[in-house]
Structure formats: C-alpha cells, structure tokens
Amino acid sequence: MTIEKTALLPVSADEAFALVTRPDRLRRWLAVSARVDLRAGGEFRWTLTPMAVAAGTIVEVDPGRRLVLALDQDQPTGPKGHIVTITIEPAEGGTLVRLVHEGLPEDRVDGTVEGWTHFFERLERAAVTGDAGPDEWAAAPAELTPLTSADATLAVLQHVLRGLGEDDLDASTPCTEFTVGRLETHLLGSLTSLTSLAGGTLVPSTAGDLESRIADAAQQAVETWTARGLAGTVQAGPQELPAALAASILSVEFLVHAWDFASATGRKVTVSDQVAAYVLDLAEQVVQPELRRTAGFDPAIPISDDAPALDRLLAFTGRTA
C-alpha cells in the first residue's frame, strides 16, 4: 500500500532539501541521530526514537529536488524494501515537500501514517522556528534498557548543545577543572573508550559545530554497542565488566554532562522523570564507592528522597542543581 504526506514550508528549496538530508537538520525534527551518505548507492540510518530505526539505501539524489530511499525490510516475507520518495518544488509561500511511502504491508499502514504525521508536524515547526524542540516520542521509551536510555539521554544532550558556538568553549562548567571546550574533549575521550570496549573504533569528526561533533561521536558509540549487544562481558584494562554495566556508562555521561553544558551556558535540561530515575539507578551501579574518586566524581551530596530524579542524580554525582 502507499501513503502520502505533504508540507508547505516557508523556506527555500535548498533549505527544505537540507532539512530532509543533512544530519544536523534531521536531528532538529526527525531523528535522535542520523547518518547519511548522500549519493546514489549510499547508506542512511536514522534513529527516529530510542526504539525505532529506519535504515537503507539511497536510490536517487537530485539536489534541491528529489530524494528516493529504499528502506530495509525487517520482515521475512513481502517486498524487499519500502520505497520512500521525497520531492521538493517551489510553491506560493515557500516550498512544497511531498513524501510518498510505497510498498507498505497493510498491517503497518496505520502506524506508518501516525509516524509520518507526527514527524511532518515537527518538520513544519522546524522550518518556521529552526528547531522543533524535544520530541516527546524520544523522551520516555516504553522499554528502558542501557541502549534505549542512551538514545533518550543523547537526545537530551543534543538539544542542550544545539546552537552553541565556538565562543562558548571558554565558559566555565560546574566542574571547576573543565571549561565547555575541555568538557567536550573529556566526553569525546570517554566515547572513544566506550566504543573500544564494544569492539569498535571511534573516528572523531573535526567538522561542524559543537553539537555536530559530539552527536557524530555519540552515534558511533551507541551504534557500536547496539550491534554488539549487552550479553557477556567486556575487558576494561585488567578488569572484566558485564557488558550491560559498561553500556550503562553512556547514559550517565550523556545526561550528567548535558546538565554541565547547560549550567555553563544558561540552558535548560529537559528530561522525563522516568529516564532520569533510570539513569540514577544506572549511576548507582556504575559509580561504586571505592571508584568514585578515580572516576572523577565528588562525594555525593545529601538530598531528599522526594526531590526530582534529575536533582537526585546530580546530587549522587556530587553536583548541586
């Protein structure tokens, strides 16, 4: 079956094309993370929400006009892949974006219509305001695991970083030894190590703004862990760790440092209480008392059990909200 969605955007055709093809633009309305090799035969992968990924091959690219995608089929029967065609054309008042999604099994039509309706509303908002804001679909996954939590907290972190410039790198964070720039270096180092634990090699990017550099590295780390899975153990120097425990560090790094970046730059952390409580539980497993100082955490600060989960997480890591 085939479905169609359209949106009239008050932007140029080139900007509309960027919104549907560039990872930094896709993160503003569609995806937690996005990887796009923009050429015929190139691959793409969009993490739409912590529990939904769209991936496949680019069939056709006509810059500023047309994009054709073949989505990987995750069912053993039926067509080999759905085809999504996005056309862009000038119209009165801006640019008309039309999406046609073909090859849908009947039992997936309703869910796909709901999905594209949700994301096209966000596309229209992003075209007007530059950013659709935090996506409630990414905020609180129905099933929280170290990997879905990593994507949910990555979305939180990226929203904090969006729009920060190189002139923000010298701002002081609540960690007295870190400026924003030094915190970026620290976080990239942590992601490099965590990717290595999962058997991968992180290739950091020097291109783009602060948000793009961290988003690119974080996506590599999360994808490597997703491919590896949470079973078994990993070797961290002389120590053997449960893989699930090692992967849990991603969420702690993303959410705690999101608050550090936000505090340094006058921004706000928007996270569900459900996710913050889950990350607090992960942090309590990861940061054992005998490792607190070597892991770089100050002593925990006493706080009421009735305080919001994010405040309790920050207090556990030695921070004051």
pLDDT of residue 72: 87
pLDDT of residue 73: 62
Alpha-carbon distances, residue 11 vs 16, 36, 63, 259 (angstroms): 6, 22, 15, 33
Q: Which residue has the higher pLDDT, 288 or 54?
A: 54
DSSP annotation string for 284-321: HHHS-GGGTTTTT-PPPPP--TTS-HHHHHHHHTT---
Task: Please indicate whether the domains covering 3-129 and 136-316 agree at the CATH topology level.
Answer: no
**pLDDT tens digits for range 1-58:** 999 999 999 999 999 999 999 999 999 999 999 999 999 999 999 999 999 999 999 9
Q: Distance (Å, rounded) from C-alpha 100 to C-alpha 107?
A: 18
pLDDT of residue 87: 98
Tell me the two tokens of residue 3. 């479905």
Q: Which CATH class is domain 3-129?
A: alpha beta
pTM of the entire predicted model: 0.94
Average pLDDT (264-282) is: 97
Average pLDDT (101-115) is: 93
**pLDDT tens digits for range 50-80:** 999 999 999 999 999 999 999 986 534 334 5
Q: What is the 3-state secondary structure (H, E, C) of 176-240?
A: CCCEHHHHHHHHHHHHHHHHHHCCCCCCCCCCCCHHHHHHHHHHHHHHHHHHHCCCCEEEECCEE
Tell me the two tokens of residue 288. 């054992």
pLDDT of residue 77: 37
Cα angle 142-145-146, degrees, rounded to a multiple of 5: 140
**pLDDT tens digits for range 142-161:** 999 999 999 999 999 999 99
* Cα of 166 vs its chain's centroid, Å: 21
Strand-pair category, 81-91 with 52-62: unpaired
Alpha-carbon distances, residue 169 vs 148, 180, 184, 208, 264 (angstroms): 29, 5, 9, 14, 10
The domain segmentation of the chain, as residue ranges, is 3-129, 136-316
Does 1.20.120 match the CATH number of domain 136-316?
yes
Q: Distance (Å, rounded) from C-alpha 135 to C-alpha 118?
A: 10
Measured torsion, CA atoms of residues 229, 234, 240, 241, in degrees rounded to the nearest 10: -30
pLDDT band at 321 (very low <50, low <70, confident <90, very high): confident
pLDDT band at 139 (very low <50, low <70, confident <90, very high): very high
**pLDDT tens digits for range 178-214:** 999 999 999 999 999 999 999 999 998 888 899 999 9
